[in-house]
Structure formats: C-alpha cells, structure tokens
Structure 1
C-alpha cells in the first residue's frame, strides 16, 4: 500500500472521498483510503489546512499509515530555494536533511529501549529513483540536494538564510520528523518538493503568502500528474535499506 502525504489539492486522484479517523497510541490521524488503488491519502495540515507545521502530530500520522499497511510514502512538500539556480516553479528531491526544529516529537523510541536508527541515506533510494524517472519522462525541471527544516510557522530571517544556504539547498517546515519516523517504522519514504519562492534575502522582494500560494496553484496540475504516475507505478519487492532499518539500528 502507498501513502501520500500532502495538501487537499491531490484528493482528486483518489476514488475514495470519505475521511476516516485512525486511532493510534499517539493520537488520532485522519485519512482518505482508496481501497481500489491501494492508496492512503493524509493531509498533514488537516482537511481545512488549519494545523501549523509545529502543531502537526507527526507520530500519529506516520503510525496510522503503518497500521494501515503502508510500505511506501510519497510526501508532497513546499519549500523555499536557497540557491539562485533552483528557481520557483521547479521541483526538488531531497537526498539529505538538516533540521532546526525545537518542539516536535521526533521518535517512537522515547521510552523503554533506546534505538539509534541509521540515517546515512535518509530518503529511500529506490523511491527517489522512481520519482526522478517520472520527472525526467515528463521533462519537469528539478534539482536534488539537502533539505533544511525549520520550526515555523514564521519565515526565516535574512541572517538565518545566510547560514542555511551554506549547508543546504532548500528550506521548509514539514519535512522533519516525517522522514525519521518513517525509517523507524521501516517504511520507505521520499519527498517531492515544490519550490514556491526564493528564501528571504535570496530574492530582493519581501516574501508573501500570496506568492507561495500562487506558485503552488500554478504547479498543481504537474503535481497531480506526478502523484498519479507514482501511484500507478509497478513496484516490485522492496530490497532497499528502509525495510530492514531496525536490523541495522543500535539498540540499547
């Protein structure tokens, strides 16, 4: 089963339209299940986009997908560019991350046994290759690199961006801790990022929410095309690092 995490705009590709509540030991998660396509859709900000990044119950969301039998996750994220050549309107596929979050529950192993999960390659290499093949087939411009995750909900300052651009390529607020939680549950995870704007100080203009939403709207059809191809991709057996993550973890 495939899990899609993103915004309400991608609901149209699914045949299911009824939101279901999944009760987990970490709280409730709301999903739409398309049983015919074997796909679960989860809106991380809620169906009405009312949850800010730092208030999302990431653990409940990822755990609910695990409970439903999801083995592969495609996360849809919006990001700001830290590099001039990564232009708004392009896509971005992270291959690593750096995080500067402060308040988030970021592990399933915060009591009982201690588990140190390996994150040498945090995003599933197989899913990243599938995503790249879809983008290249459709001739959609994209880049790869490091995702810098900040706490939000405010945008970053000019001085913060000066630091981040030395370490990463894009900046966003929702990519972490999803990627880690998925690995702890041995779920394959990849991210399709829509570059909606240049980060503060990269562009000469003041960043506005209208600018971000406008670019997302312009990219919506492309995102739907990519998600549809991903959902219909003929996946074989998993033989990646993700499915055996706990075998290679340091457990104390």
Structure 2
C-alpha cells in the first residue's frame, strides 16, 4: 500500500473522497482511503489547511499509515530555494536533511527503550530514483540536495537564510520529523518538493503567503501527474535499506 502525504488537490485523482479517522496511541489521524488503488491520502495540515507546521501530530500521522499497511510514502512539500539555480517552479528531491525544529515529538522510541536509528541515507534511494525517472520522462526540471527544516510558522530571517544556504539547498517547515519517523517504522519515504519561492535575502521582494499559494497552484497539474504515475508504478518487492532499518539500529 502507498501513502501520499500532501494537499487536498491530490484527492481529485483518487477513487474515494470519504475522510476516515484512524485512532492511534499518539492521537487521531484523518485520511482518505482509495481501496481500489491501494492508496492512503493524508492531509498533514488538515482537510481545511488549518494546522500550522509546528502543531502537526507527525507521530499520529505516520503511525496511522503504518497501521493501515502502508509500506511506501510519497510526501509532497513546498519549499523556498536557497540557491539561485534552483528556481521557483522547479521540483526538488531531497537526499539529506538538516533540522532546526524545537518542539516536535520526533521519535517513537522515547519510553521503554532507546533506539538510535541510522540516517546515513534518510530518504529511500529506490523511491528517489522512481521520482527522478518520472520527472525526466515528463521533462519536469528538478534539483537534488539538502532540505533544511525550520520550526515555523514564521518565515526565516535574512541572517538565518545566510547561514542555511551554506549548509543546504532548500528550506521548508514540514519535512522533519516525518522522514525519521517513517524510517523508525521501516517504511520507505521520499519527498517531492515544489520550489515556490526564493528564500528571504535571496528573493528581491518581501515574501508573502499569497506568492507561495499562487506558485503551488501553477504547479498543481505537474504534481498530480507525478503522483498519479507514482501510484501506478510497478514497484515490486522492497529491497532497499528502509525495510530492515531496525536490524541496523543501536538498541539499548
């Protein structure tokens, strides 16, 4: 089963529009299940897009997908570019991350035992290759590199961006801890990022939410094309590092 984490527009390609509540020991998660296509869609910001990045219940969301039998997750994220060659309107496929979050519950293993999960290659290499193949087949421009995750909901300052651009390529607010939580549950996880703007200090103008939403709208058809082809991709048996993550973890 495939899990898609993203915005409400993706629901248009699924054969199902009834929202279901999944109860977990970490809280409730709301999903739309397309049983015919074996796909679960989860809106991380809520169906009304009213949950800010720092208040998303990431553990409940990822645990719910695991509970439903999801093995592969495609996360749709919006990001700001830290590099001039990564232009708004392009896609970005992260291969690593750096995080500067402060308040988020970021592990499932914080009570009975300590688990140090390996994150040498945090994003599933197999899913990343699939995303690149789909993008190239459709002639969609994309970049690769490091995703810098900040707490939000505010945008970053000019000085923060000056620092981040030395370490990463794009900046966003929702990519972490999803990627780690998925690995802790031995699920494959990859992110398709839409570059909606240049970050503060790189952009010549003051950044607005309207600017971001407008660019997402412009890219919507391309996003839906990639998601649809991803859902219909013939993956076969999982042979990646993700499925055996706990075998290689240090457990105390």
Do they fold alike, i.e. is TM over 0.5? yes
Residue-by-residue CA offset, 1:149-168 (whole Å, 9 max, x unaligned): 00000000000000000000
Give the secondary-structure state (helix, strand or coil) at the position aligned to 2:219: helix
Aligned-residue CA RMSD in angstroms?
A: 0.3
| CA distance in structure 1 between the aligned counterparts of 2:203 and 2:235, rounded to whole angstroms | 40
Give the secondary-structure state (helix, strand or coil) at the position aligned to 1:64: helix
Deviation at 1:61, TM superposition (A): 0.1
Normalising by structure 1, report the TM-score: 1.00
| CA distance in structure 1 between the aligned counterparts of 2:20 and 2:142, rounded to whole angstroms | 34
* Correspondence 1:98-137 to 2 at 5 A: 98-137=98-137
Which residue number in structure 2 is paired with residue 150 of structure 1?
A: 150
Which residue number in structure 1 is paired with residue 3 of structure 2?
A: 3
* Correspondence 1:181-220 to 2 at 5 A: 181-220=181-220
Give yes or no for the alignment of 1:32 onto 2:32. Answer: yes
| Count of aligned residue pairs for this structure pair | 252
Q: Which runs of 5+ in 2 are unaligned?
A: none
Name which of structure 1's ranges 63-72 and 201-210 shifts more when overlaid on structure 2: 201-210
Which residue number in structure 2 is paired with residue 48 of structure 1?
A: 48
Deviant stretches of 4+, over 2 Å: none
Give yes or no for the alignment of 1:247 onto 2:247. Answer: yes
Give the secondary-structure state (helix, strand or coil) at the position aligned to 2:152: coil
Residue-by-residue CA offset, 1:40-83 (whole Å, 9 max, x unaligned): 00000000000000000000000000000000000000000000
| CA distance in structure 2 between the aligned counterparts of 1:247 and 1:86, rounded to whole angstroms | 37
Deviation at 1:213, TM superposition (A): 0.6
| CA distance in structure 2 between the aligned counterparts of 1:150 and 1:9, rounded to whole angstroms | 25
Which residue number in structure 2 is paired with residue 169 of structure 1?
A: 169
Which residue number in structure 2 is paired with residue 20 of structure 1?
A: 20
Which residue number in structure 1 is paired with residue 159 of structure 2?
A: 159
| CA distance in structure 1 between the aligned counterparts of 2:116 and 2:143, rounded to whole angstroms | 30
Give yes or no for the alignment of 1:66 onto 2:66. Answer: yes
Which residue number in structure 1 is paired with residue 97 of structure 2?
A: 97
Deviation at 1:203, TM superposition (A): 1.0
| CA distance in structure 2 between the aligned counterparts of 1:155 and 1:49, rounded to whole angstroms | 17
Normalising by structure 2, report the TM-score: 1.00
Residue-by-residue CA offset, 1:81-122 (whole Å, 9 max, x unaligned): 000000000000000000000000000001111000000000
Give the secondary-structure state (helix, strand or coil) at the position aligned to 2:197: strand
Q: Which runs of 5+ in 1 are unaligned?
A: none
Give the secondary-structure state (helix, strand or coil) at the position aligned to 1:145: strand
